[in-house]
Structures are given as C-alpha cells and as structure tokens.
Structure 1
C-alpha cells in the first residue's frame, strides 16, 4: 500500500492535494499548500494561461469558435469545459477574479445566443454552469430554479426534454445532481433525483432489471459528461448518503481493481484537448484509482 500511495503522490498538484486529503489524511496546512500550487504550476497553470482577454477559452461557451462538428469528437477546450476542469482541480476562485464579468459581457451560448450565466436548455450544460457560477460567485440561482421546473415525473432529468423525452437519463440526472449539490439548495428536488438512481441500483432499468448499457461499467478519466457507477458512487460519497441499494454497484467498482490495487483507464472521451491529464486506455490511471479508493474507503467505513 505504501508504494501505491507514493505512486499517487507523485502527481500534478491538482491530483496530489486530493490524495493528501482523502487517502493520506494529511493535516489541512499540508494539502491546502499543495492545492494552492494548482494555479501556479502544472495542469492548472497551463489551462489558466489559455484564457483569452475576453474571459473565454478557445473563443466559445460550449464549443470553440468556428467549430463545425466535423472533428471526430466533442472538443473539450471551450469555456465551460475549461472552467469545469479548473474547479474540479481545486483552483481558488480568486485566481479568476473578473471572469464572471468578462463572461457576462462577452460570452453567449451557441444556442440562440443566450447570456452565459443565464444558462440554456440543456440539463448538463446548465448543471455545469450552475456549479461554475457558484464557485466563481455569479448569480445563478435562476438556473437552480430551472432544474425544479424541468424535473421529470420519474424524478430525474433528460437533456432531450426539448425533443419530447419524458423518461430521465442516467447521464443527465447525475450531472444535474452534481450542479445542485454545488449550489447547496433545492434539497427536495435533489433528493428525488437521487432516488431515481438509487431505485435502479445505479445501473439497472427499473422496468426489467436489465443493465442500462455497458457504459455503466466503463471508467473513463476525465469523467466529462459520461455516467458510470464509479462517477455516481463518488457523488453519493460527497453527499454522504450510503444506501444499501448501491451495494451491487460498489461490487462492480471493487471487481475492477487490479492485483496491484490500481484501476485501469477504460478510454478517454474522444475530442480535442488543450493537453492530456491522464493515461491512455488500458494503463493504470491515478485519477481513477484515487476516485475508486476513496469511494471504497467511504463505503467500507460504514
């Protein structure tokens, strides 16, 4: 185990501070000092350097300026994805002082040119905007209320609601829950969304009990928009809701642990990136190993 922890600690500050806090149990002054380094070295510094004078990354809100959909994958370089990464890596919001105002003035959604901090019609996009807005101090309470109005009868959400979808999506529901958790309010709305996933054991159809898709057991880093039982279990860890209906999904996570106690990369989501932050498919992933280890530690402690 010592070798495993040393391997995890030999990482970019964006990952290392989380290992120190969640696995090593280092005192706050240690992991907070490492977290402060994220903005000035490694992944965080590199991505911060790509921000334009207009406050945006790659000239667009969700897609880069000039994107025509012919690249073979979703580009991950525009403003929303870049903010997601910086927030998840633990960058202090103060480093991005002025970004809220710049995006308010300059950034519009590709969908109908809507103002950036007002959100748009896609559940996942609105979830990320809600989380990023809370982090940076933007007024995004209206987006939180939007989720209450667009929750489907089964308790979850579906980005295809604008096309008439009336059944929730695992992907959309998890992303919505993450955004609402960051907001901190709408507890009843969030609870209903959690029940949608828990009633299905995090990976089964409610009607037949069948697995909803092979993607539930594919662990990809970064998670991006994608659902997996690991991604969902990590959400419930953050909420602190240990529910027996998750037991089979936890077993799936445990079963994917290698003999050396690492978890393998199941493949990156295709598309243009500023730079890679994790290993290629089939190699041991520090990000996935960190996530899986803290999920299992949390679960086993209960």
Structure 2
C-alpha cells in the first residue's frame, strides 16, 4: 500500500499528539524528528489543554471515573445521554495514548493514591474496582505513571472468564466474555507488560484473551456469521470503551509487534472490514460522536473525514499488507 503524499500532509497538518505518530509510523521519520514533535504534546495543543485542566489534588473534574458530585439519578445518567468523559480516567487515557512523557505528570501517582477514590465502594484509586474496562485503563495508567499496580495485574488473572476473555458484568453473575471488556482488558495488560515486563501468568492470560477474540475473527459470534452488535463496524474517534474492528485490529498490530510475531491469519476478515470502510480519497469517516460531556473536541464532527481514524486505518493496513504480501 502506497500512501498518497497529500493524504500524509493532511494528517501531518495536525495537533502534535497525532503528528508525531504519523511521522513515526507512516512517514518513517528518524527518531530525532518524531521525538521532538512528541515532546510538544506537553506544551502545545490538546495535551497542554488537558494538563491545564488538572485539579490540584491530581484529579480531573473532581472524580475518578465520573465527575465529582455526579447525579446518577439525573438526566446526564440516562441511557441515551452517554456518560461524562471529563473525570480523571479519561484525561489520563488520552494523555497516555497521545504519548505524553510521564514526567509532565510528576507527583500525580502519589496525589491520586492519596486523594482519588472510585465511585464504586469508595475503593482506592490504584487498587482498581470491579469493572474490567476501568481496571484495564488503571493498570496501564499506573504502569505509565510509576504507581504500584501489581495487585491489579493479578486481578486480571483471577477474574478471567472460562472462555478466556473478561466481562464487566461478572460482578452481576455473568460467566460469558465480552468483546468490549476483553479488548479494554487486553490493551491495559499489553501496555503494562511493555512498561514493566509483566509476568508469565499475566502473559498467559493475555494470550487466552486474544484467543477469545481470534476464534471469533474479531467481529462475529462463535456460532454465526453475524456481528455481535452494530458497534463492531462503526468507526469513531476517540475510541473510548467501545469495541470496533479498527480498535481491535490496531491492538493486534501492537501485540504482534510486541511479541515479534507475524499477524494471526484469523484477523483477515476484520482487516477486510477496515479496508472496506476506507473512502475513495483514502480517508475514513467519523461516523458519530459518543454522547457525553467532554472538555473539548479532539476530532471532526460526524460525516467528515477524520485524521485520527485515517491514521489508525492506514497504519493497520500498512502493517498487514507489509507482512502478508507475497
């Protein structure tokens, strides 16, 4: 796959949070170039704006997963209202994914340990809670910021479902795995492993979780050819907690590169779905915005070509085509 120069220039004409990744993964710029751009995340654009919104106690919006004082019985908690994306978990996720150097958040791990409690049972921040997705984010964010999340790493081994994946509804008695929960757990585990070296036990859990998705070709139920939900083929940035074939194939790219292995051929159908969503001009369209309060928008409105989705889609196809071509 040859990337059109105009398309590259369009993606490069962006916030440093995206630009450095385009330089590294699509342009092949030398480290001194993309590292210089990456360093600007702390002082310019989206990264600097989010950093400026951090509370003195280390949190954002006065809460761990929901803003402080959130009314769980109010209109913002209605099913069609989405959820707020402003509390601590979400800015940390974004800053980490945008490549912010952890030194820009020096002291945050200690502040969150002292001041931040989960809305569920008032549990301590770095111990996590009962939700697999939240714990996946916290595992990765803790590894990034240097917090002790060893107990949380063990949690994923202890709470793996018989099918190999995870499900946030385990606390309500579910024994099935979930596409959403499994992918978010895997992303957290992989980041933790890359940052700390991980453990053989957690590595085995990761591979079992990957196998759960691979058996389903990343996009189908095990017994039918149907999508498990319309969200599988819907492309939205930021990904948030939602599963999609783009989100999943990007994870499997990262996992294969981390493990130094060729891509599993069972993701071919998902790759085809990513390719089919590419428009004639080489871009991918922002299909919607996940509803809910945000600090500020970081991508285009629905219906417009998204630089972020185009980056992820192009990166996945470049990787796949580069290692599977005859």
Bigger shift: residues 31-40 or 206-215? 206-215
User: Which residue is 2:177 aligned to?
Assistant: 168
Query: Residue 193 of structure 1: SS of its match in structure 2?
Result: helix
Runs of 4+ deviating beyond 6 Å: none
Query: Residue 18 of structure 1: SS of its match in structure 2?
Result: helix
- Deviation string 1:217-261 (CA, Å, 9 cap, x unpaired) is 001100000000010000000011511111111100000111110
- 2:130 aligned to 106, 113, 121, which one? 121
User: Which residue is 1:58 aligned to?
Assistant: 61
Whether 1:228 and 2:244 are equivalent positions in the alignment is yes
**Distance apart, 1:210 and its partner CA:** 2.1
- 2:313 aligned to 276, 286, 292, which one? 292
User: Which residue is 2:142 aligned to?
Assistant: 133
Alignment of 1:185-264 (within 5 A): 185=198, 186-240=202-256, 242-264=263-285
For 1:261 and 1:209, the matched residues in 2 are separated by: 28
Whether 1:108 and 2:101 are equivalent positions in the alignment is no
For 1:11 and 1:183, the matched residues in 2 are separated by: 28
Aligned-residue CA RMSD in angstroms?
0.7
For 1:264 and 1:247, the matched residues in 2 are separated by: 21
User: Which residue is 1:34 aligned to?
Assistant: 37
- 2:163 aligned to 154, 161, 164, which one? 154
TM-score (norm 2): 0.92
- Deviation string 1:49-84 (CA, Å, 9 cap, x unpaired) is 000111100000000011114222210000011100
For 2:293 and 2:230, the matched residues in 1 are separated by: 24
Alignment of 1:92-103 (within 5 A): 92-103=101-112
**Distance apart, 1:214 and its partner CA:** 1.4
For 1:82 and 1:177, the matched residues in 2 are separated by: 20
User: Which residue is 1:180 aligned to?
Assistant: 189
TM-score (norm 1): 0.99
Specify every segment of 5 or more residues in structure 1 that has no aligned partner in the other structure, as ranges: none
- Deviation string 1:191-225 (CA, Å, 9 cap, x unpaired) is 00000000000011112232211110001100000
Specify every segment of 5 or more residues in structure 2 that has no aligned partner in the other structure, as ranges: 257-261
For 1:214 and 1:45, the matched residues in 2 are separated by: 35
